[in-house]
A and B are shown apart, each in its own frame.
Chain A
Amino acid sequence: QVQLQESGPGLVKPSQTLSLTCTVSGGSISSGGYYWSWIRQHPGKGLEWIGYIYYSGSTYYNPSLKSRVTISVDTSKNQFSLKLSSVTAADTAVYYCARGRTYNAFDIWGQGTMVTVSS
């Protein structure tokens, strides 16, 4: 079965770029019909959609983060990645990668990775 796993630094300095990778196992990221997503959760708060990418490379971003976000896909490694630039303490959160499908459903999630922005 498909599994997702986030990886990347747990600590990022203010003004720098947060970079995370999600590795997809048990299935191909090139399978049609899915959108590969990043979602975050601030400590003690709700879920916030960051953006997603289709295997073709088409991307869609949350307008509130669009100027700072880049999501890319590497089909050869079965991975997709998140870059969030010019981070501040407000970007401290648990970051999840997830598989999106029809009916606005995110059916498979990674375990999440905590990223703290601090000097």
Chain B
Amino acid sequence: SSELTQDPAVSVALGQTVRITCQGDSLRSYYASWYQQKPGQAPVLVIYGKNNRPSGIPDRFSGSSSGNTASLTITGAQAEDEADYYCNSRDSSGNPSFGGGTKLTVL
């Protein structure tokens, strides 16, 4: 089982704000990165570091962290944001580790 815990599913009304969280002790020491994965596609990096967006990622995506919890916030969710979201950081041995993923439904 993953050392990073995510809620399996979250829903949000179109245009509203949603926060997807990732919990784990390693997050007290390491930044999390966040990935969006749509069916049949490879994951796409959306947030990394303190709150950095790769080129091409809309600014409605933002990241934050407090204690053992990292969060991905989508402000003004769009229909195209419906996807699985994975967090990634390090495990207790310092190896990369992914959370179990959160399925986001946009209503």
Of the listed stretches A14-22, A25-33, A74-82, A96-104, chain B binds A96-104
Residues in B with CB closer than 8 Å to A111 are: 41-42
- With both beta carbons as reference points, the residue of chain A lying nearest to B96 in the complex is identified as A49
Which of A46, A48, A103 is the one whose CB lies under 8 Å from B33?
A103
Residues in A with CB closer than 8 Å to B96 are: 37, 49, 52, 100, 104
- With both beta carbons as reference points, the residue of chain A lying nearest to B40 in the complex is identified as A112
* Chain B, interface residues (CB within 8 Å), range: 20 to 34
- A48–B95 Cα distance when bound, in Å, is 11
Q: State whether the Cβ of A10 lies closer than 8 Å to any Cβ in chain B.
A: no
Q: State whether the Cβ of B15 lies closer than 8 Å to any Cβ in chain A.
A: no
Min CB distance A117 to B, Å, is 21
Residues in A with CB closer than 8 Å to B86 are: 46-47
Which of B33, B42, B97, B98 is the one whose CB lies under 8 Å from A105?
B33
What are the nearest 3 A-B pairs in CB distance?
A: A105-B48, A103-B49, A109-B42
Instruction: List residues of B whose CB falls within 8 A of some A CB.
Output: 2, 30-33, 35, 41-45, 48-49, 52, 54, 86, 88-90, 93, 95-101
